[in-house]
Amino acid sequence: MIDCKGDRLPNNLAVIHQQINWLQQQPDGILFQENSGDNCIAVKKINSLVLLLLADRETLITNVAQSILDLDNPLNLIFPYARAMLLALIWKPQPKNIYIIGFGGGSIPRFFHHYFAGAIVECTDIDSTVVEVARKFFGIQFDARLKVAIQDGRDYLAQQNSAVKNDIIIIDAGFGSGYMPYRLVTQEFYQLCKTRLSSAGVLVVHLFHKQEFNAAAVKTIQTVFAQIYICNLETGNSIVIGTNAPDLPQNEIFLKAELIQDFHNFGFSLIEMSLQLKKVAQFPEWVQIWETLPIFTDSEIPAGYGDC
């Protein structure tokens, strides 16, 4: 677990700017590049943006940036999917414990750390190089409220003290191919998440762009959580929210999003994001094939899953 002493400065906005100020003076281009496992990790600067890139080690091909830091506004969540993840606050507006699988550049953990001073944010990532890059090039500072373990996220959750109940669990771990690790999409994994959530706690899953498996992934989540809400984004990504809290009608979701937005004054509209939430029944193309879809289990990986 990477942590730091309790007497360290808080990770407020002034401190963040202090940590990344040196990057403003750097020329555009590749600032860092290192092989790690099967990947090549690179940091690239383009004007006021710093990008974390994860490329295939042999081909050096990557289609997406894992994280983007806006040097002028480091709390800016540039990716729409990251903003959509904040919809979990509709069910847990004052989270105390947040667990995130997949650290990347640390944008989402930092956002929670900044806006929710009473929350502890625990994270996992399997690549120590990625975490060190987040520290050096993305201004991430760890303290008693923001921690990361270099460990498989499912294993960490299974080993977490069962007395610890997370208000929000976020799954944001994927390969450049557009797939999540299979062991993070199975019924058994979601059942584990359920045991680690507080009453009316919220599971948030970032489904990537492999649409042919997304409906089955949602069906699998629905076997564990009573209420499922989906936010399909124009980028091809989807955010799935699962909870066993009572169902909320659209007008109540809207009103809760409005209250949260007014209180925190986020740099984006949580209200607009809330209007994109739908239930499975609102996807006719899924309803037609729903009974034929598989439920993902640990026992068998479906044919084609993980193919690039």
Domains in the chain: boundaries: 13-70, 80-292
Q: What local confidence, expressed as pLDDT, does residue 8 receive? A: 35
DSSP character string of 127-183: -HHHHHHHHHHS----BTTEEEEES-HHHHHHHS-TT--EEEEEE----TTS---GG
CATH superfamily of 80-292: Vaccinia Virus protein VP39 (3.40.50.150)
Q: At what angle do helices 187-195 and 211-222 cross, to 10 degrees?
A: 50
Going residue by residue through the chain, which has 308 residues, state the pLDDT in tens, using 9 for 90 and above.
554 433 333 447 888 888 999 999 999 999 999 988 777 899 999 999 999 998 766 655 555 688 999 999 999 999 999 999 999 999 999 999 999 999 999 999 999 999 999 999 999 999 999 999 999 999 999 999 999 999 999 999 999 988 989 999 999 997 655 678 899 999 999 999 999 999 999 999 998 766 678 999 999 999 999 999 999 998 788 999 999 999 999 999 999 999 999 999 999 999 999 999 999 999 999 999 999 999 999 999 988 887 64
Q: What is the pLDDT of residue 304?
A: 83
Q: What pLDDT shows up at residue 1? A: 59
pLDDT at residue 194 in the model: 97
Backbone angles phi, psi at 32, to 5 degrees: -155, 145
pLDDT of residue 179: 75
Strand 120-125 vs strand 146-150: parallel, antiparallel, or unpaired?
Answer: parallel
pLDDT for the residue numbered 67: 93
Q: What is the pLDDT of residue 306?
A: 73
Helix (H) or strand (E) holding 304: none
pTM of the shown model? 0.93
CA 308/CA 176 separation, integer angstroms: 9
